[in-house]
């Protein structure tokens, strides 16, 4: 024998369901906010550029090849004769 639900029990179940739905919405909102924070603050790992060719060109360059502005800069900052 199944008795029909009374108004009080239906009301309790309805409010319980509403409370669970509200908690679920809050959880989803927090998850979205956390995901956004993690996405914005994630460390990006860019590939390290290969500087071998650039270093080789600098090593091959003689002091005569330097522009005058750079020669002046070297003289002032390092005291080196150029």
Tens digits of residue pLDDT in 36-56: 999 999 888 888 889 999 888
Domains contained in the chain, number: 2
Indicate whether 37 and 60 sit together in one domain: no
Tell whether 1 and 28 lie within a shared domain: yes
Is the pLDDT assigned to residue 79 strictly greater than 80? no
Q: Are residue 28 and residue 55 in the same domain, yes or no?
A: no
At residue 81, φ and ψ (nearest 5 deg) are -80, 130
Q: Is residue 33 part of a domain?
A: yes
Residue 15: domain span = 1-41
Residue 46 resides in a domain:
no
Asked if 71 and 62 count as a contact pair (C-beta separation under 8 A), the reply is: no
In a domain, 28, yes or no: yes
Task: Compute the Cα dihedral for 26, 28, 30, 32 and give only its sign.
Answer: negative
Q: How much is the pTM? A: 0.44
> pLDDT above 70 covers what percent of the chain?
89
Looking at the structure, tell me whether residues 7 and 29 fall in a common domain: yes
- 37 domain residue, yes or no: yes
Residue 72: name the closest of 63, 82, 62 by CA: 82
């Amino acid at each position: 024998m199944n008795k029909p639900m009374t108004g009080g029990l239906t009301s309790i179940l309805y409010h319980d369901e509403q409370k669970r739905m509200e908690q679920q919405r809050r959880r989803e909102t927090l998850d979205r906010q956390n995901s956004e924070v993690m996405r914005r603050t994630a460390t990006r790992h860019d590939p390290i550029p290969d500087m071998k060719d650039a270093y080789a060109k600098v090593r091959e360059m003689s002091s005569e090849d330097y522009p005058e502005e750079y020669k002046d800069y070297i003289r002032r900052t390092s005291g080196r004769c150029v």
